[in-house]
Structure 1
Amino acid sequence: MVTDLATLTQSADPATTEPPTITIALAVLGSSVVAGLISVILGNTRANATARRERYAQAVRTLVAWAEYPYRIRRRTSDDAVTLTALADRGHTLQEQLAESRAWIAAESRAMSEVFDACLDEINPLVGPACAIAWQQPPIAKSAEMLLGDFGPRGINAIVARMECAIIYRFGLRRLMWRGWVLHRLRRRACLPDTSPTTVE
Protein backbone atom coordinates (compact mmCIF):
# COMPACT_ATOMS: atom_id res chain seq x y z
CA MET A 1 0.00 0.00 0.00
CA VAL A 2 2.90 2.34 0.84
CA THR A 3 4.47 1.56 -2.53
CA ASP A 4 1.23 2.35 -4.35
CA LEU A 5 0.92 5.76 -2.67
CA ALA A 6 4.53 6.65 -3.54
CA THR A 7 4.00 5.61 -7.14
CA LEU A 8 0.84 7.69 -7.40
CA THR A 9 2.59 10.72 -5.92
CA GLN A 10 5.52 10.48 -8.30
CA SER A 11 3.30 10.07 -11.35
CA ALA A 12 0.97 12.95 -10.49
CA ASP A 13 0.63 15.78 -12.97
CA PRO A 14 3.04 18.59 -12.00
CA ALA A 15 0.41 21.19 -13.00
CA THR A 16 -1.90 19.90 -10.28
CA THR A 17 0.80 20.00 -7.65
CA GLU A 18 2.03 23.56 -8.29
CA PRO A 19 4.01 24.92 -5.34
CA PRO A 20 2.05 27.44 -3.27
CA THR A 21 4.90 29.92 -3.58
CA ILE A 22 4.05 30.54 -7.26
CA THR A 23 0.42 31.31 -6.39
CA ILE A 24 1.51 33.66 -3.62
CA ALA A 25 4.00 35.39 -5.91
CA LEU A 26 1.31 35.93 -8.56
CA ALA A 27 -1.06 37.32 -5.95
CA VAL A 28 1.58 39.73 -4.66
CA LEU A 29 2.49 40.81 -8.19
CA GLY A 30 -1.16 41.35 -9.06
CA SER A 31 -1.79 43.41 -5.93
CA SER A 32 1.34 45.48 -6.62
CA VAL A 33 0.12 46.27 -10.14
CA VAL A 34 -3.32 47.25 -8.85
CA ALA A 35 -1.80 49.35 -6.09
CA GLY A 36 0.45 51.03 -8.64
CA LEU A 37 -2.48 51.84 -10.90
CA ILE A 38 -4.47 53.23 -8.00
CA SER A 39 -1.50 55.32 -6.93
CA VAL A 40 -1.09 56.72 -10.44
CA ILE A 41 -4.81 57.51 -10.72
CA LEU A 42 -4.88 59.23 -7.33
CA GLY A 43 -1.72 61.15 -8.18
CA ASN A 44 -3.20 62.37 -11.46
CA THR A 45 -6.45 63.30 -9.72
CA ARG A 46 -4.61 65.35 -7.12
CA ALA A 47 -2.47 67.03 -9.77
CA ASN A 48 -5.55 67.90 -11.83
CA ALA A 49 -7.35 69.25 -8.77
CA THR A 50 -4.32 71.37 -7.86
CA ALA A 51 -4.08 72.80 -11.38
CA ARG A 52 -7.82 73.47 -11.44
CA ARG A 53 -7.66 75.17 -8.04
CA GLU A 54 -4.86 77.45 -9.24
CA ARG A 55 -6.75 78.40 -12.39
CA TYR A 56 -9.85 79.33 -10.41
CA ALA A 57 -7.71 81.26 -7.91
CA GLN A 58 -6.17 83.14 -10.82
CA ALA A 59 -9.63 83.96 -12.17
CA VAL A 60 -10.66 85.40 -8.79
CA ARG A 61 -7.42 87.39 -8.51
CA THR A 62 -8.06 88.85 -11.95
CA LEU A 63 -11.60 89.86 -11.02
CA VAL A 64 -10.28 91.66 -7.95
CA ALA A 65 -7.44 93.30 -9.90
CA TRP A 66 -9.90 94.52 -12.53
CA ALA A 67 -12.11 96.05 -9.84
CA GLU A 68 -9.03 97.71 -8.30
CA TYR A 69 -7.83 99.12 -11.62
CA PRO A 70 -9.67 102.47 -11.28
CA TYR A 71 -7.92 103.05 -7.95
CA ARG A 72 -4.55 102.51 -9.60
CA ILE A 73 -5.40 105.12 -12.21
CA ARG A 74 -6.71 107.58 -9.64
CA ARG A 75 -3.66 107.17 -7.37
CA ARG A 76 -1.11 107.77 -10.11
CA THR A 77 1.50 110.31 -9.11
CA SER A 78 2.38 111.54 -12.56
CA ASP A 79 1.00 112.02 -16.04
CA ASP A 80 4.33 111.42 -17.72
CA ALA A 81 4.58 109.00 -20.62
CA VAL A 82 6.12 106.20 -18.55
CA THR A 83 3.36 106.24 -15.93
CA LEU A 84 0.54 106.48 -18.46
CA THR A 85 2.01 103.70 -20.58
CA ALA A 86 2.39 101.43 -17.54
CA LEU A 87 -1.23 102.02 -16.51
CA ALA A 88 -2.52 101.47 -20.04
CA ASP A 89 -0.50 98.25 -20.31
CA ARG A 90 -1.93 97.14 -16.97
CA GLY A 91 -5.44 97.60 -18.28
CA HIS A 92 -4.73 95.66 -21.47
CA THR A 93 -3.12 92.82 -19.49
CA LEU A 94 -6.10 92.56 -17.16
CA GLN A 95 -8.52 92.41 -20.09
CA GLU A 96 -6.44 89.65 -21.67
CA GLN A 97 -6.39 87.71 -18.40
CA LEU A 98 -10.14 88.08 -18.02
CA ALA A 99 -10.67 86.76 -21.53
CA GLU A 100 -8.33 83.85 -20.86
CA SER A 101 -10.07 82.99 -17.58
CA ARG A 102 -13.47 83.22 -19.23
CA ALA A 103 -12.42 80.84 -22.02
CA TRP A 104 -10.85 78.33 -19.62
CA ILE A 105 -13.83 78.34 -17.26
CA ALA A 106 -16.25 77.93 -20.17
CA ALA A 107 -14.35 74.80 -21.24
CA GLU A 108 -14.04 73.48 -17.69
CA SER A 109 -17.63 73.96 -16.49
CA ARG A 110 -20.67 75.50 -18.12
CA ALA A 111 -22.21 76.16 -14.71
CA MET A 112 -19.13 78.02 -13.48
CA SER A 113 -19.01 79.89 -16.77
CA GLU A 114 -22.44 81.33 -16.01
CA VAL A 115 -21.28 82.44 -12.58
CA PHE A 116 -18.10 84.06 -13.89
CA ASP A 117 -19.97 85.83 -16.69
CA ALA A 118 -22.56 87.10 -14.20
CA CYS A 119 -19.78 88.48 -11.98
CA LEU A 120 -18.18 90.25 -14.93
CA ASP A 121 -21.55 91.62 -16.05
CA GLU A 122 -21.88 93.27 -12.63
CA ILE A 123 -18.28 94.47 -12.29
CA ASN A 124 -17.78 95.93 -15.77
CA PRO A 125 -20.46 98.67 -15.46
CA LEU A 126 -18.80 99.73 -12.20
CA VAL A 127 -15.22 99.69 -13.43
CA GLY A 128 -15.73 101.48 -16.75
CA PRO A 129 -17.18 104.76 -15.42
CA ALA A 130 -14.77 104.75 -12.47
CA CYS A 131 -11.82 104.49 -14.87
CA ALA A 132 -13.16 107.38 -16.94
CA ILE A 133 -13.48 109.56 -13.83
CA ALA A 134 -10.02 108.55 -12.63
CA TRP A 135 -8.34 109.47 -15.90
CA GLN A 136 -9.95 112.91 -15.78
CA GLN A 137 -8.56 113.66 -12.33
CA PRO A 138 -5.08 115.20 -11.87
CA PRO A 139 -2.23 113.09 -10.48
CA ILE A 140 -1.81 112.71 -6.72
CA ALA A 141 0.54 115.37 -5.36
CA LYS A 142 0.57 114.57 -1.62
CA SER A 143 -0.12 111.64 0.65
CA ALA A 144 -3.44 112.98 1.98
CA GLU A 145 -4.88 112.78 -1.53
CA MET A 146 -4.42 108.99 -1.46
CA LEU A 147 -7.56 108.87 0.68
CA LEU A 148 -10.14 108.75 -2.08
CA GLY A 149 -13.31 108.88 -0.01
CA ASP A 150 -16.32 107.63 -1.97
CA PHE A 151 -14.45 107.16 -5.22
CA GLY A 152 -14.46 103.80 -6.95
CA PRO A 153 -16.64 100.73 -7.53
CA ARG A 154 -18.79 99.55 -4.64
CA GLY A 155 -20.05 96.08 -3.75
CA ILE A 156 -17.10 94.27 -5.32
CA ASN A 157 -16.50 92.05 -2.29
CA ALA A 158 -20.00 90.62 -2.49
CA ILE A 159 -19.60 89.90 -6.21
CA VAL A 160 -16.26 88.15 -5.73
CA ALA A 161 -17.68 86.20 -2.77
CA ARG A 162 -20.31 84.70 -5.07
CA MET A 163 -17.57 83.43 -7.35
CA GLU A 164 -15.67 81.98 -4.41
CA CYS A 165 -18.84 80.34 -3.13
CA ALA A 166 -19.48 78.69 -6.50
CA ILE A 167 -15.93 77.35 -6.88
CA ILE A 168 -16.46 74.75 -4.14
CA TYR A 169 -18.74 72.88 -6.54
CA ARG A 170 -15.74 72.05 -8.75
CA PHE A 171 -13.96 70.00 -6.08
CA GLY A 172 -14.57 66.81 -4.16
CA LEU A 173 -17.84 64.92 -4.53
CA ARG A 174 -19.66 68.12 -5.53
CA ARG A 175 -17.78 67.96 -8.83
CA LEU A 176 -19.86 64.90 -9.75
CA MET A 177 -23.16 66.74 -9.36
CA TRP A 178 -25.39 67.15 -12.41
CA ARG A 179 -25.13 70.63 -13.93
CA GLY A 180 -28.83 71.41 -13.49
CA TRP A 181 -28.62 70.59 -9.81
CA VAL A 182 -25.47 72.72 -9.43
CA LEU A 183 -27.18 75.70 -11.05
CA HIS A 184 -30.19 75.23 -8.75
CA ARG A 185 -27.93 75.17 -5.69
CA LEU A 186 -25.98 78.21 -6.89
CA ARG A 187 -29.18 80.20 -7.31
CA ARG A 188 -30.37 79.18 -3.87
CA ARG A 189 -27.05 80.39 -2.44
CA ALA A 190 -27.36 83.66 -4.41
CA CYS A 191 -24.29 82.88 -6.52
CA LEU A 192 -26.43 83.38 -9.62
CA PRO A 193 -29.43 85.62 -10.29
CA ASP A 194 -32.80 83.86 -10.57
CA THR A 195 -33.13 85.11 -14.16
CA SER A 196 -30.14 82.99 -15.38
CA PRO A 197 -30.83 80.31 -18.00
CA THR A 198 -32.05 77.00 -16.61
CA THR A 199 -31.43 74.77 -19.62
CA VAL A 200 -29.44 71.66 -18.86
CA GLU A 201 -27.02 69.59 -20.84
Structure 2
Amino acid sequence: MPQTSAFTWPGLILVVLGSSFLGNLLTKVFDRSSARSAEIRASYADAIKALNNWGQYPTRIRRRTDDEPETLRKLEELGAQGNSALAYSVGWVSGENPAVGQIFNELTVMLRAEVARHARLAWATVPANSADLMNLAGPIKPGDRHFGPDDPWAGIIPAEWMVIQLFSQVIRYRFGWRRLLPSWYLRRRFQRMKIIAAAREAFEVKSIRRLYVPDDGHLTDQTEMPG
Protein backbone atom coordinates (compact mmCIF):
# COMPACT_ATOMS: atom_id res chain seq x y z
CA MET A 1 0.00 0.00 0.00
CA PRO A 2 1.21 3.45 -0.84
CA GLN A 3 2.19 5.46 2.19
CA THR A 4 0.07 8.53 2.94
CA SER A 5 2.04 11.74 3.25
CA ALA A 6 1.90 13.34 6.66
CA PHE A 7 1.98 16.73 4.94
CA THR A 8 -1.72 17.55 4.66
CA TRP A 9 -3.51 20.54 3.19
CA PRO A 10 -4.27 22.07 6.62
CA GLY A 11 -0.56 21.81 7.44
CA LEU A 12 0.36 23.48 4.15
CA ILE A 13 -2.10 26.29 4.83
CA LEU A 14 -0.59 26.84 8.26
CA VAL A 15 2.92 26.96 6.78
CA VAL A 16 1.85 29.49 4.14
CA LEU A 17 0.04 31.65 6.67
CA GLY A 18 2.99 31.42 9.07
CA SER A 19 5.45 32.41 6.36
CA SER A 20 3.24 35.32 5.37
CA PHE A 21 2.95 36.48 8.96
CA LEU A 22 6.70 36.20 9.50
CA GLY A 23 7.37 38.07 6.26
CA ASN A 24 5.03 40.88 7.21
CA LEU A 25 6.57 41.06 10.67
CA LEU A 26 10.09 41.32 9.28
CA THR A 27 8.94 43.93 6.78
CA LYS A 28 7.44 46.05 9.55
CA VAL A 29 10.60 45.71 11.64
CA PHE A 30 12.81 46.82 8.75
CA ASP A 31 10.43 49.65 7.88
CA ARG A 32 10.46 50.91 11.45
CA SER A 33 14.24 50.63 11.58
CA SER A 34 14.54 52.60 8.34
CA ALA A 35 12.13 55.25 9.57
CA ARG A 36 14.04 55.51 12.85
CA SER A 37 17.32 55.95 10.99
CA ALA A 38 15.80 58.70 8.86
CA GLU A 39 14.47 60.41 12.00
CA ILE A 40 17.90 60.27 13.63
CA ARG A 41 19.59 61.71 10.55
CA ALA A 42 17.07 64.55 10.39
CA SER A 43 17.50 65.34 14.08
CA TYR A 44 21.28 65.44 13.83
CA ALA A 45 20.93 67.69 10.79
CA ASP A 46 18.72 69.98 12.91
CA ALA A 47 21.40 69.99 15.62
CA ILE A 48 24.01 71.11 13.09
CA LYS A 49 21.66 73.81 11.82
CA ALA A 50 21.18 75.01 15.39
CA LEU A 51 24.95 75.33 15.84
CA ASN A 52 25.30 77.17 12.55
CA ASN A 53 22.42 79.58 13.17
CA TRP A 54 23.59 80.42 16.68
CA GLY A 55 27.15 80.96 15.48
CA GLN A 56 25.95 83.41 12.84
CA TYR A 57 23.87 85.46 15.26
CA PRO A 58 26.60 88.10 15.89
CA THR A 59 26.87 88.61 12.13
CA ARG A 60 23.14 89.27 11.91
CA ILE A 61 23.52 91.88 14.64
CA ARG A 62 26.58 93.42 13.02
CA ARG A 63 24.80 93.74 9.68
CA ARG A 64 21.59 95.29 10.99
CA THR A 65 20.64 98.29 8.89
CA ASP A 66 19.24 100.45 11.71
CA ASP A 67 18.46 100.56 15.42
CA GLU A 68 14.73 101.03 15.03
CA PRO A 69 12.53 99.23 17.61
CA GLU A 70 11.13 96.84 14.98
CA THR A 71 14.63 95.84 13.85
CA LEU A 72 15.75 95.27 17.42
CA ARG A 73 12.61 93.25 18.14
CA LYS A 74 13.25 90.96 15.17
CA LEU A 75 16.85 90.44 16.20
CA GLU A 76 15.76 89.65 19.74
CA GLU A 77 13.25 87.09 18.42
CA LEU A 78 15.91 85.59 16.16
CA GLY A 79 18.24 85.22 19.13
CA ALA A 80 15.51 83.64 21.26
CA GLN A 81 14.62 81.16 18.52
CA GLY A 82 18.25 80.25 17.97
CA ASN A 83 18.86 79.80 21.67
CA SER A 84 15.75 77.64 22.02
CA ALA A 85 16.71 75.44 19.05
CA LEU A 86 20.20 74.95 20.43
CA ALA A 87 18.89 74.04 23.89
CA TYR A 88 16.48 71.51 22.35
CA SER A 89 19.30 69.95 20.32
CA VAL A 90 21.48 69.61 23.41
CA GLY A 91 18.69 67.66 25.11
CA TRP A 92 17.93 65.51 22.07
CA VAL A 93 21.53 64.56 21.33
CA SER A 94 22.18 63.74 24.98
CA GLY A 95 19.13 61.47 25.03
CA GLU A 96 20.05 59.81 21.73
CA ASN A 97 23.54 58.88 22.90
CA PRO A 98 25.28 60.01 26.12
CA ALA A 99 28.80 59.95 24.66
CA VAL A 100 27.86 62.03 21.63
CA GLY A 101 25.73 64.27 23.85
CA GLN A 102 28.73 65.03 26.06
CA ILE A 103 30.75 66.19 23.04
CA PHE A 104 27.85 68.24 21.69
CA ASN A 105 27.28 69.89 25.05
CA GLU A 106 30.94 70.89 25.47
CA LEU A 107 31.12 72.28 21.93
CA THR A 108 27.92 74.21 22.59
CA VAL A 109 29.36 75.75 25.76
CA MET A 110 32.39 76.99 23.81
CA LEU A 111 30.25 78.34 21.00
CA ARG A 112 27.93 80.13 23.44
CA ALA A 113 30.91 81.92 25.00
CA GLU A 114 32.21 82.93 21.58
CA VAL A 115 28.81 84.17 20.43
CA ALA A 116 28.19 86.08 23.66
CA ARG A 117 31.52 87.88 23.30
CA HIS A 118 31.03 88.84 19.67
CA ALA A 119 27.35 89.65 20.00
CA ARG A 120 28.31 92.23 22.61
CA LEU A 121 30.86 93.71 20.21
CA ALA A 122 28.37 93.63 17.34
CA TRP A 123 25.72 95.51 19.34
CA ALA A 124 28.29 98.23 20.05
CA THR A 125 28.91 98.88 16.34
CA VAL A 126 26.94 101.38 14.29
CA PRO A 127 24.21 100.02 11.97
CA ALA A 128 25.38 98.86 8.55
CA ASN A 129 23.26 101.32 6.59
CA SER A 130 25.49 101.26 3.50
CA ALA A 131 27.03 98.56 1.33
CA ASP A 132 30.60 99.10 2.51
CA LEU A 133 29.55 98.76 6.15
CA MET A 134 28.25 95.27 5.38
CA ASN A 135 31.90 94.17 5.29
CA LEU A 136 32.69 92.59 8.64
CA ALA A 137 36.16 94.10 8.42
CA GLY A 138 34.70 97.57 7.99
CA PRO A 139 34.74 99.88 4.95
CA ILE A 140 37.54 99.31 2.47
CA LYS A 141 40.19 101.98 2.85
CA PRO A 142 42.86 103.16 0.39
CA GLY A 143 45.78 100.78 0.40
CA ASP A 144 43.77 97.79 1.59
CA ARG A 145 44.82 94.52 0.00
CA HIS A 146 42.01 91.99 -0.07
CA PHE A 147 41.58 88.51 -1.51
CA GLY A 148 45.33 87.99 -1.76
CA PRO A 149 48.00 86.16 0.23
CA ASP A 150 48.34 89.18 2.52
CA ASP A 151 44.63 89.41 3.21
CA PRO A 152 44.36 89.81 7.02
CA TRP A 153 41.23 87.64 6.93
CA ALA A 154 43.02 84.73 5.28
CA GLY A 155 42.57 81.53 7.26
CA ILE A 156 40.00 82.96 9.66
CA ILE A 157 37.34 80.29 10.18
CA PRO A 158 33.97 81.22 11.69
CA ALA A 159 33.35 79.61 15.06
CA GLU A 160 30.31 77.66 13.92
CA TRP A 161 32.26 76.15 11.02
CA MET A 162 34.94 74.85 13.35
CA VAL A 163 32.35 73.39 15.72
CA ILE A 164 30.38 71.77 12.90
CA GLN A 165 33.50 70.23 11.36
CA LEU A 166 34.46 68.69 14.68
CA PHE A 167 30.95 67.47 15.50
CA SER A 168 30.62 65.94 12.03
CA GLN A 169 33.51 63.63 12.92
CA VAL A 170 31.48 62.46 15.91
CA ILE A 171 28.04 61.85 14.44
CA ARG A 172 29.33 59.41 11.85
CA TYR A 173 29.49 56.95 14.76
CA ARG A 174 25.70 57.06 15.00
CA PHE A 175 25.04 55.48 11.61
CA GLY A 176 25.65 52.12 9.97
CA TRP A 177 27.49 49.42 11.89
CA ARG A 178 29.14 52.02 14.16
CA ARG A 179 25.74 52.63 15.75
CA LEU A 180 26.14 49.30 17.54
CA LEU A 181 29.23 50.51 19.41
CA PRO A 182 28.59 51.02 23.16
CA SER A 183 28.81 54.46 24.74
CA TRP A 184 31.81 53.54 26.91
CA TYR A 185 33.78 52.71 23.78
CA LEU A 186 32.67 55.91 22.05
CA ARG A 187 33.87 58.01 24.99
CA ARG A 188 37.32 56.46 24.73
CA ARG A 189 37.29 56.83 20.97
CA PHE A 190 36.35 60.53 21.14
CA GLN A 191 39.08 61.14 23.71
CA ARG A 192 41.63 59.63 21.35
CA MET A 193 40.27 61.79 18.54
CA LYS A 194 40.89 64.87 20.75
CA ILE A 195 37.71 66.59 19.57
CA ILE A 196 37.34 68.86 22.60
CA ALA A 197 41.08 69.57 22.77
CA ALA A 198 41.05 70.70 19.14
CA ALA A 199 38.08 72.99 19.79
CA ARG A 200 39.69 74.53 22.88
CA GLU A 201 42.91 75.17 21.02
CA ALA A 202 41.04 76.86 18.18
CA PHE A 203 39.13 79.12 20.56
CA GLU A 204 42.11 79.96 22.76
CA VAL A 205 44.78 80.61 20.15
CA LYS A 206 42.88 83.26 18.25
CA SER A 207 39.45 84.75 17.89
CA ILE A 208 37.58 82.74 15.30
CA ARG A 209 35.49 85.68 14.18
CA ARG A 210 36.55 89.32 13.97
CA LEU A 211 33.72 91.78 14.31
CA TYR A 212 35.43 94.72 15.96
CA VAL A 213 37.53 97.13 13.89
CA PRO A 214 39.39 99.93 15.71
CA ASP A 215 39.03 103.51 14.52
CA ASP A 216 42.35 103.32 12.66
CA GLY A 217 40.91 100.56 10.49
CA HIS A 218 43.65 98.03 11.25
CA LEU A 219 42.45 94.53 12.00
CA THR A 220 43.77 92.83 15.10
CA ASP A 221 43.18 89.63 17.00
CA GLN A 222 41.47 91.69 19.69
CA THR A 223 38.36 90.05 21.06
CA GLU A 224 37.35 92.66 23.61
CA MET A 225 36.25 96.26 23.27
CA PRO A 226 38.88 98.69 24.57
CA GLY A 227 38.20 99.76 28.13
Structure 1 position 52 matched with structure 2 position 52: no
Deviations 1:124-179 (A, max 9, x none): 221111000111111112111111126x9844322211111111111222111111
- Name the CA distance, whole Å, in 2 between partners of 1:158 and 1:134: 20
Q: Alignment partner for residue 184 of structure 1, among 168, 184, 188?
A: 188
2:64 to 58, 64, 76: 76
What corresponds to 1:197 in structure 2? none
1:173 aligns with 2:177: yes
What is the aligned partner in structure 2 of residue 198 from structure 1? Answer: none
CA distance in structure 1 between the aligned counterparts of 2:18 and 2:87, rounded to whole angstroms: 48
Separation (CA, whole Å) in 1 of partners of 2:59 and 2:7: 79
User: What are the Cα deviations for residues 21-63 of structure 1, in whole angstroms up to 9, with x where unaligned?
Assistant: 4333322211111110000000111111111111111011010
Alpha-carbon RMSD across the aligned residues, in angstroms, is: 2.3
Is the contact between residue 162 and residue 190 of structure 1 (CA under 8 Å) also seen in structure 2? no
Amino acid at match of 1:126: E
Q: Write the letter of the residue equivalent to 1:38.
A: L
Unaligned runs of 5+ in 2: 138-152, 199-227
Query: Which range moved further: 167-176 or 64-73?
Result: 167-176
Count how many residue pairs are aligned between Structure 1 and Structure 2.
181
2:29 paired residue number = 41
Secondary structure at the residue paired with 2:56? helix
Please list, as runs of the form range in 1=range in 2, the aligned pairs for 1:126-141 lying within 5 A after superposition: 126-141=114-129
Q: Which runs of 5+ in 1 are unaligned?
A: 195-201
Q: Is the Cα–Cα contact under 8 Å of residues 67 and 153 in structure 1 kept in the other structure? A: no
Aligned partner of 2:164 in structure 1 is 160
Cα distance in 1, alignment partners of residues 161 and 184 from structure 2:
27
- Report the Cα offset of residue 108 of structure 1: 1.4
Choose 153-162 or 118-127, whichever is displaced more.
Answer: 153-162
Separation in 1 of the partners of 2:184 and 2:5?
60
TM superposition shift of 1:77? 0.4
Name the TM-score, length of structure 1 as normaliser. Answer: 0.82
Partner of 2:103: 115
- Mapped to 1, the partners of 2:187 and 2:178 lie a distance apart of 12
Contact preservation (8 Å) 1:126, 1:154: no
The 8 Å contact of residues 73 and 134 in structure 1, kept in 2 or not, is answered as: yes
Q: Is the 8 A contact 2:55 2:159 kept in 1?
A: no
User: What TM-score results when the alignment is normalised by the length of structure 2?
Assistant: 0.73
How many angstroms apart in 1 are the aligned matches of 2:91 and 2:48? 14
Conserved? CA contact 1:105–1:112, under 8 Å: yes
**Structure 2 contact 65–127 (Cα < 8 Å) conserved:** yes
- Quick one: distance in 2 between partners of 1:153 and 1:121? 18
Residue 131 of structure 2 is aligned to residue 143 of structure 1: yes
